[in-house]
Amino acid sequence: MIEIIDLHKKLSGQTVLKGIDLVINRGETLTIIGRSGEGKSVLLKHIIGLFRPDSGNIRVDGENITRHKTSDLYRLRRRFGVLFQGSALFDSLTVGENVGLALREHKTFPEYEIRRIVAEKLARVDLKGAENKKPAELSGGMKKRVGLARAIAMSPEYILYDEPTTGLDPITADSINDLIIQLKTDLNITSIAVTHDMASAYKISDRIAMLFDGRIIAIGTPEEIKNSDSEAVQQFVTGKAKGPITDF
Amino acid sequence: MNLISYLGYLVIRFIEHVGRLSILIGQLVLSLHLFPKNLRLISQQMLYMGVNSLPLVLFTSLFTGGVTAVQAAYQFRGIVPMTYLGGAVGKAVVIELGPVLTALVIAGRVGASIAAELGTMKVTEQIDALETMAIDPVRYLVMPRFISGIVMLPVLTVFSNFIAIVGGLAVSVWFLDLTTYSFLNSLKMFFELQDLFGGLLKSIAFGAIISIIGCYNGFATVGGAEGVGKSTTRAVVVSSILILLADYGIASLVFG
Ligand SMILES: Nc1ncnc2c1ncn2[C@@H]1O[C@H](COP(=O)(O)OP(=O)(O)OP(=O)(O)O)[C@@H](O)[C@H]1O
Ligand SMILES: [Mg+2]
């Protein structure tokens, strides 16, 4: 379980997060929606300690990570997998080396076992046998898949997805949605996703939270969000240019 | 008033950079004991920094040596016997020209590419990705480049010294009517081991400067392709300046 308590963060003079309160339960997929530049990526990065909050706390399974030393953060991060917004594949490494990097660096298994795990994770994202390709040779959708395989390489308990479907065609996007659902059911992973793709949010989420003006203004099941009486939520989920969000 | 606040801003920025650079150096020093983990990365960097830079260094050195001989001969004319030319070329090359020109050439080639590579990794979140995989970017990226820098710069400098002296010799024999014997004889007569070691000591410092400044600017990159371009330029400019400052400092210590 991840608890975010009254999280505040100012970045380059501008207050991005103004008191976030959010609980993510074990085994659920929670999706955070919100406009571009609202601070969704910044919020995700706080959860794995890439940013430190100005005030407020984050607890992972009861452990308060906000004042963790680097070594404690590294220990904690081994339980997390992250899919970055732009995939963030290491372009000097092959696909296989990308997926196997953490396994090799942490010497968790002997080399033949690592090769087996890499092949297994790639097969899981429908990229069997792509080990020797370079990231530059891949399409955007394939990069996301490799990023996903890399995120699950260390068999994490938690996965953070930063816009897993953005920039993909609807069919490829839906195949990523299916993968996310499959990972959750097969491996019982707790997930936090960030997106502004509503089709994806409705499909993968147990609950959806909407971030607006640095706060969570609504949270509920996809059904509840779809039928929310908040005008801001309605404007966002139906994608209207005019409404309380843009008048703000 | 505006000028004063601008100057104040510059001073603050400068202190900020010095502080961050010191932190990076501290982290680098703390990661050095992990170098057995990095042998493959270190050898990759050495190959790129050392072997692949060799043609450029040799080309530069050959001409530097030749020019040194021509200019020294011009200054000697009527004052110093030409038989001392070998010694003068040798000393100039080994103490100053070999280490400094090699370092400046490598700052342009390798320092720039370190900053560009790490800068691109920064803006495409690859550095964040390393962090989230619990891999220390300083250990994984900075340390191999640093070790490769302090090892390969002296190695390149030795090659550079040798080729520059060959260049000086060739010019002396072909254009200045000296014999190979008299050039080499005076080279030997004036050669001192301290000169060579002083020069190599400089090149170790230059290797540290190029790698650390390249990495620092790479990590400090913000804002896409434009940011990468700026960091690359800054890495070359700052390391060139620091190379010249360090050159003066070490020269005063060793030869002063
Ligand atoms: N490292 C940083 N330094 C300074 N400001 C930052 C940094 N990262 C993000 N910001 C700022 O924080 C705000 C929120 O950025 P963030 O990337 O979290 O938005 P987002 O909701 O993820 O948007 P998008 O949907 O476009 O990815 C932006 O105004 C951005 O300029
Ligand atoms: Mg984002």
Establish whether this prediction's ipTM goes over 0.85.
yes
Domain span holding position B43? 3-255
Query: Would an 8 Å CB–CB cutoff place B136 in contact with chain A?
Result: yes
Do residue B129 and residue A77 have CB atoms under 8 angstroms apart? no
Site residues for ligand 1, CB cut-off 6 Å? A 11-12, 16, 34, 36-42, 85, 196
Which listed ligand is nearest to A15 at the C-alpha? 1
Question: Which of A74, A78, A88 is nearest residue B128 as measured by Cβ atoms?
Answer: A88
Residue A96 burial (CB < 10 Å; 0-12/13-18/19+)?
Answer: buried
pLDDT in tens, A85-102: 999 999 999 999 999 999
Query: Would an 8 Å CB–CB cutoff place B36 in contact with chain A?
Result: no
Average pLDDT over residues B216-225: 95
pLDDT attached to residue A222: 95
Question: Which of B37, B129, B136 is nearest residue A88 as measured by Cβ atoms?
Answer: B129
Query: Would an 8 Å CB–CB cutoff place B121 in contact with chain A?
Result: yes
pLDDT score of B4 more than 80 = yes
Q: What is the spatial distance between Cα A99 and Cα A29, in angstroms, rounded to a whole number?
A: 23
Which residues of chain B neighbour A48 with C-beta distances below 8 Å?
131-132
pLDDT in tens, A156-166: 999 999 999 98
Reported as type and span, the H/E element at residue A79 is: none
A5: helix, coil or strand?
strand
Query: Would an 8 Å CB–CB cutoff place B3 in contact with chain A?
Result: no
Taking the centre of ligand 2 as the mean of its atom positions, its distance from the CA of residue B227, in whole angstroms, is: 19
pLDDT attached to residue B2: 87
Task: Give me the residues paired with residue A29 across strands.
Answer: A191
Average pLDDT over residues B30-36: 93
Q: What is the spatial distance between Cα A239 and Cα A226, in angstroms, rounded to a whole number?
A: 12
CA proximity to B222, closest of B127, B91, B106: B127
Taking the centre of ligand 1 as the mean of its atom positions, its distance from the CA of residue A42, in whole angstroms, is: 6
Do residue A105 and residue B129 have CB atoms under 8 angstroms apart? no
pLDDT in tens, B105-129: 999 999 999 999 999 999 999 999 9
Question: Which of B125, B132, B134 is nearest residue A86 as measured by Cβ atoms?
Answer: B125
Judge whether B187 and B165 are in contact, CB under 8 Å: yes
Q: What is the value of pTM for the model shown?
A: 0.91
pLDDT attached to residue B228: 97
pLDDT score of A248 more than 80 = no
Read off the pLDDT band of A168 (50, 70, 90).
Answer: confident
Number of domains in chain B: 1
pLDDT in tens, B225-239: 999 999 999 999 999
Q: What is the spatial distance between Cα B56 and Cα A38, in angstroms, rounded to a whole number?
A: 49
Read off the pLDDT band of A115 (50, 70, 90).
Answer: very high
Mean pLDDT of chain B: 95
pLDDT score of A146 more than 90 = yes
| CA-A12 nearest atom, ligand 1 | 4
Of all protein residues, whose CA lies closest to atom 9 belonging to ligand 1? A42
Low-confidence winner among A78-82, A227-231, B197-201, B207-211 (lowest mean pLDDT): A227-231
A64: helix, coil or strand?
strand
Low-confidence winner among A201-210, B59-68, B71-80 (lowest mean pLDDT): B71-80
**How many interchain CB pairs under 8 A, A with B?**
46
Do residue B134 and residue A106 have CB atoms under 8 angstroms apart? yes
* Site from B39, B122, B132, B138 to mutate, A interface, most A CB atoms within 10 angstroms: B132
Which listed ligand is nearest to A167 at the C-alpha? 1
pLDDT attached to residue B1: 67
| CA-A42 nearest atom, ligand 1 | 18
Average pLDDT over residues B124-147: 96
Q: Which residues in A have their CB inside 8 Å of a CB on B?
A: 45, 48, 50, 70, 74-75, 77-78, 80, 82, 84-86, 88-92, 101-102, 105-106, 154
Give A117-125's long-range contacts (Cβ < 8 A, gap of 24+).
Answer: A117/A153, A118/A149, A118/A153, A121/A149, A121/A150, A121/A152, A121/A153, A122/A95, A122/A96, A122/A146, A122/A149, A124/A149, A124/A152, A124/A179, A124/A183, A125/A149, A125/A179
pLDDT score of B159 more than 70 = yes
* b/e A15-46 (16+ beta carbons within 10 angstroms → b): ebbeebebebeeebbbbbbbeeebbbbbbbbb
Which residues of chain A neighbour B121 with C-beta distances below 8 Å?
90
B152: helix, coil or strand?
helix
Average pLDDT over residues B94-115: 96
Average pLDDT over residues A35-47: 93
Judge whether B199 and B155 are in contact, CB under 8 Å: no
